[in-house]
Amino acid sequence: MMIQLKLSLSRLATRLSTNIRWQCRIPVRLCNLLACSRKDNPHWQNSVAGGNHQSPINITIRDSVYDPHLKPIKFSYDPNTCLHIWNNGYSFQVEFDDTTDRSVISGGPLANSYRLKQFHFHWGAKNDWGSEHAIENHLYPAELHLVHWNTVKCHSFMDAVMEENGLAVVGVFLKLGKTLEGLQQMVDALPAVKHKDSVVEFNKFDPSCMLPSCPDYWTYPGSLTTPPLTESVTWIIYKKPTEISKSQLNAFRSLLFTPPGQEEKKMVDNFRPLQPLMNRKVRSSFQVLQDLLYLEGGSKKPANVPLFRS
């Protein structure tokens, strides 16, 4: 059921900040024409990534350091805080009631609890790419981002976007495999948000169904991957991917960047290119083993293609 929503100023600002297309220059991850050529959005024009802590990055074993103090992340999500799904013209976003501490994460690198605001995905037109982060140059077909904000340090989500340690984003790679039963409820709702700017009510969903059972993760200080690109994010990237089926991923790809009445543009390749690590350390909650079995399901970037845009 489509519903009309009266947006608060902050929510509108949040949505505009994510409603951006990216100029892409890395040949290994080709964007469709709409995603690459859209420069008319005023937020994009004013959002120049000038910092040294930008995201996403390629995580390498060489650059990461095991930190034995990193304990597993604690997730406490209340399915009743789930509100709606919104096609923002760049991805689809599942938004939560963040007025109280009913859905939070804590532990690991986080000094206090962070409240769930929304989750969304990035994915490719093909199965060989789609994730924003890479592991040892491997890309996955899609990546989930669970976005949380620091309610101890910040008064609002928008304050947190601008604040160091204001946000904690949990990244989970998705690989093709068996159907993720818990996700099907959301997949079934996607046709209702096929077009840009459409919103559908969506309740009683627990995002923890998308988390891998293995608690191992990497963490590093980084940025939003959509404007305003602020370096306010503690990234937590899970080592193991979660499996979803081909038909579930194809449901993502059946969405549109475009509103009704315009020439249809498939919503695919909605990721930001990799950014240089610069002077940062990536910490791991686990000791590196010799095997790279966890990379199964991903694809390796061709050796002759540069990882970073200059």
Quick one: tokens of 75? 């997730």
Let me know: does 175 contact 140? Beta carbons within 8 Å: yes
Residue tagged 């966890």 (tokens): 294
Q: Give the residue with the Cβ less far from Zn ion, 41 or 179.
A: 41
Give the x/- contact pattern for Zn ion in 125-154, rule: CB under 5 A: --------------------x---------
Residue nearest Zn ion by beta-carbon distance: 145
Q: Give the residue with the Cβ less far from Zn ion, 55 or 67.
A: 55
Give every CB contact of residue 107 below 8 A, 6+ residues apart in sequence.
71, 72, 73, 74
Q: Give the residue with the Cβ less far from Zn ion, 145 or 175.
A: 145
Q: Give the residue with the Cβ less far from Zn ion, 43 or 293.
A: 43
DSSP assignment of 196-223 = TT-EEE--S--GGGGS-S---EEEEEE-
Residues in contact with Zn ion, counted by CB under 5 A, come to a total of: 1
Let me know: does 223 contact 232? Beta carbons within 8 Å: yes
Nearest approach, Cβ of residue 268 and Zn ion (Å): 15
Nearest approach, Cβ of residue 97 and Zn ion (Å): 20
Nearest approach, Cβ of residue 32 and Zn ion (Å): 18
Nearest approach, Cβ of residue 283 and Zn ion (Å): 21
Q: Give the residue with the Cβ less far from Zn ion, 61 or 133.
A: 133
Give every CB contact of residue 198 below 8 A, 6+ residues apart in sequence.
2, 86, 87, 192
Nearest approach, Cβ of residue 304 and Zn ion (Å): 28
Query: Cα(293)–Cα(291) distance, rounded to whole angstroms?
Result: 6
Binding site for Zn ion (CB under 5 A): 145
